[in-house]
Amino acid sequence: MYLENVNIENCEVDFLYLDDIMKKLNFSIGDHWDYERVIYDYKFKNNYGIFYLRIPGVAKEGNIGDKEAVICLKKPYIGKYYFNHGLEYSDDEFFPKQVVNSSKDLLKRFEKLL
């Protein structure tokens, strides 16, 4: 489920600054990066399952591996985790109101820190 009306899409930010913000907000990068792309995850676990708020980005300048990049943020989305499958994020999926509202709140906090 892509989140609309979020003012971070196409924002450009220094990778180290972005990484610092994400750590403060308890997002994790894990293995979701290569030299040109990065994805930050925030995990929600409740009675409906496991969900992730994802904020993707691509390197507009530089190299993420060298930690010297300018990241262009892309549209954030929520996905539901399925064991042995991965994330499903289509609009046909059920996303609990609590996860959607918490995701929107996190994105507002993230916007203020940018």
Q: Which domain holds residue 94?
A: 12-113
Task: Tell me what pLDDT residue 91 has.
Answer: 77
Alpha-carbon span 9 to 72, nearest angstrom: 8
Q: Report how many domains make up the chain.
A: 1
Residue 62 in any domain: the answer is yes
Q: Which residue has the higher pLDDT, 32 or 51?
A: 51
The single-letter code of the amino acid at 17 is Y
Residue 6 in any domain: the answer is no
Task: Tell me what pLDDT residue 35 has.
Answer: 85
Residue 97 in any domain: the answer is yes
Task: Tell me what pLDDT residue 92 has.
Answer: 82
| pLDDT at residue 85 is higher than 90 | no
Q: What's 21's domain CATH number?
A: 3.30.310.100
Residue 4 in any domain: the answer is no
pTM, 2 dp: 0.90
Compute the average pLDDT of residues 1-9: 90
Residue 47: CB atoms within 10 A of its CB come to 6
Alpha-carbon span 87 to 25, nearest angstrom: 21
